[in-house]
Structure formats: C-alpha cells, structure tokens
Chains A and B, each alone.
Chain A
Amino acid sequence: MQAFSYVPARTISEAAEILAREGDQAKCLSGGTDLIVFLREGRRSAKVVVDVKGIPELNQLSYSPKEGLTIGAAVPCHRIYNNAQIAAAYPGLIDAVTLIGGTAIQGRATLGGNVCTASPAGDSIPVLIAYEATCIVASRSVTKAIPLEKFFLGPGRTVLQPSELLVALKLPPPRPGTGAAYLRFIPRNEMDIAVTSAGVAVVLDESKTHFVGARIALGAVAPTPLFVPEAGAALAGRPVSDEAIEAAAQAARAAARPITDMRGSAEQRKHLSYVLTRRALWKAVERAKSA
C-alpha cells in the first residue's frame, strides 16, 4: 500500500483543521472497509489518513421517541442492529445494516462510510432517504444540515467539500402509523452488491386503511441512489390496496434509469425496481399495521 501518515483525531476541529490544510490529500478513515481497499488498489491516494472513530460526536448513537435517531458517522453496523430500541423503532434500517457485507464487515462498516463512498448501490442509502435522513456536515468554520437525497452528485461523488466531514445522520422520530422496509436483489443470500434495491417508508392513517404518505428510493438504477417522490405521491390519500401499490411500483419502474453491466441488464433492473418496490411496500404496510 502507498505510504501515508496517520492521525487519530480526537475532536471535530482537529479533523477539520487537517482536512482544510491537506485538501483532497487527506482522507477520513471510519471503518476502513472501503477506504483501505481503495488505497491498496490505488483507486484513491492520501498523504494523511485521519481516523475519525475517536471523535465523540461521530460515535454517538442515541434514540428517543421525541428527538428521533442520531447515528454518528463512525458508528459500525453491529452497534445499530444490537440496539433493541432502535431495531424496534426503525426496522427498515435494520433490514439494510444486517445485509451490508458479512459479520466481520458489519463489525467495522459504518453508515458514514457507506454514504460518503456514494455508491449507487450503497445499501444503507435508499432506506435512509425513505426515513428522511439528514446529513450533519462540519468544516472548520460551519456546521450544516443537508437532506440525504441532495447529498449525491454521481458515482463516488457527493456535495461534501474536501475540507468537510460528515458528523452524523439524523432521522426524525417515526410518525404514528409508520412502517418501512428495505429489499435488495442479489444472486446469493449474503455478501454481494445489489443488482437493484428499494427502500420505502409509509405512513398509514389512524384506522390503518389509508396511506397518509410514503417515501420511496431505489438503489443501483441511476448514477446516484434515486429518490422517487412521484412513487410516494401515488400513494398519498389512497386506500391500502393492490391498485395503489401497483401504481407506486409502476412509478418506481418509470423513474429508474439503469445501465447494463456485469451484474444485470437495464431491462432486468427496471423490472426489479417495480417488483422490489411492490414487495417492500407490502412489507412496510404489514409493519405499520403491527406496530
């Protein structure tokens, strides 16, 4: 691997100071399951690797029914799914964090890293968008909040400047009647990259017979994870029914603009957008009803 120096940062300002000074020759290290591979393969270069795992704000994992969920950018997947309260409140997120890599990957991999790698197939992203996640971003001088669906520019590219780091993801408390789910299609059961995926969150009315609203996002069908507001809009105000869910799934298929590559053809991915959206919506409805 190329040579670099290593700084275990203790505070946001210490990390931001190095990022401001070194620009794109400084790289944040969270779980390292992407970065170490990228550096080893020469797909990224770094003069300084800034380990952000020791920064308290990036390690925070807290949930309250009033404040919602804060996931520090350096919190590994296993801490999220081993937290019973979070697992109960955000089952759609648990679908995603339990299928990123295998056990040993989940011991290190973080949502901060997943989001900053900005793969169109990043497994945490569609359902985080469905849950209305916001990115908390800090530089030396400012802290700002960016809705996750506005974070991505293209494969591997985000709005994050070299001088900025991701501090945390914030999810609002689930509204009464919420259900969510994440589904991905891969040729085996574990350890593969999504051919296509769908993350959905629905809100049902008090009688649980009508949709109040829904948010739907797709993975691996566009240069970035794809938020499809029109698919969610197709459900608002309608009865929970095959017809309504069919309309939303059709809207997801229409919005998908995939490519053909070694993992699947564009046509297959279009079809999967439809099937996975439909199945994820029914799963989310079931969860909303049993919550």
Chain B
Amino acid sequence: MSNKVLVTATINDEEMSFVCEPRQSLLEVLRDVLNLTGVKEGCNNGNCGACAVILNGVLVNSCLVLGVEINGATVTTIEGITPKEGLHPLQQKFLEDAALQCGICTPGFIVAAKALLDKNPNPTEHEVRYWLAGNLCRCTGYDKIVRAVLDAAEVMRAEKQPV
C-alpha cells in the first residue's frame, strides 16, 4: 500500500528532502516526519487556523495541503519565525499582553499575523480582525490577541526606521 514519494522543499530557509505518502497532509509531514511540532492540529478541516503556515509567501492551513504538493516550494512555520536568540516581536507581545492561555492556537495566530504584517506593516484593528477571522481561540478571547498584533506591528515599524 505504501507508495512513498520523495519531496524536496525549502523549509524555514533550509533545503530538506523527505519521503511521504500522497495521503499525508503537510501538517502530518511537518509534525510527524520533520519533527516541526510547533505547528498544531486543531480541527483538521480548515476551520481553526492552528496549523497555519506560509507557503510560497501565502498564508495557508497545512491540514488542507498534501505533503507532496510542496515539492519545490518554500514553507515557513513558527520555528522559522523564531529568531536564533530571543523572541520575535509578535511572540514577545503575545507574552506581554497575555494573549495566550493554553497556547494551542498561538503558533497559528503568530504565523497568520506575520503574513499580514509582511504585506501590511500598519494594519487597522478592523483589518487585523478580518485577517485573523480564520483563527479560532477557545480560551483567551480575541481582544488581547488583536492588541498583541497591533503592538507588535508598532515595534516592528520602529525597528525598521533608519537610525
């Protein structure tokens, strides 16, 4: 039954090759084959955003992508957003603003927010809320999450200012 396929992709700036079955989702491949367990499974049907990754610059839910579909592609997960030392401003602000409780939704929110801020460094609250509508959180409530994203955006804009 095993008809494994060889796939090569750039994941978090590193070229990686792995074998997987066509029926395995990108989510399963990231977690179970590549050990990138920052990406979370919530619903496994596209509704919660816990499994969000950036694929060729576009935000997607990895539970709705097949592992074999990423051959030749570029993927960024929460591990790739985390700097070698310290925290990304989004991670820092999620902590400071208490924008998480159990944390299952957090990687998805941060990856989704990163994709937004890459495109739009100065979003309105309304834009943040619409962009994150596909990410669900069962414990924290959305106000703190939206606040953290807006605060992180401010930090990131300041960091970009020429000195």
Residues of chain A whose beta carbon lies under 8 Å from any beta carbon of chain B: 1-6, 8, 29, 31-33, 36-37, 39-41, 49, 51, 53, 76, 78, 101-105, 107-108, 189-191
Contact = CB atoms under 8 A, between A and B. Distances in A.
A37 B22 contact: no
Contacts of A36: 25, 63-66
Interface in B75-131: 112, 115-116, 130-131
Nearest to B62: A104
Contact of B133 (A29, A49, A53, A102): A102
Contacts of A107: 55, 58-60
A120 to B, nearest CB: 20
Interface of B: 1, 3, 5, 21-25, 44-47, 49, 52, 55, 58-61, 63-66, 68-69, 71, 112, 115-116, 130-135
B45 A37 contact: yes
Q: Is the interface of B mostly helix, strand, loop or mixed?
A: mixed
Given A3-B22, A33-B46, A190-B130, 16 more contacts: A3-B21, A4-B23, A6-B66, A29-B69, A31-B64, A36-B25, A36-B64, A49-B66, A76-B58, A102-B131, A102-B132, A102-B133, A103-B132, A108-B61, A191-B47, A191-B133
B59 A32 contact: no
B3 A189 contact: no
Contacts of B134: 101-105, 190-191
B46 A190 contact: no
Contacts of A37: 45-46, 64
A54 to B, nearest CB: 10
Contact of B61 (A6, A39, A105): A105
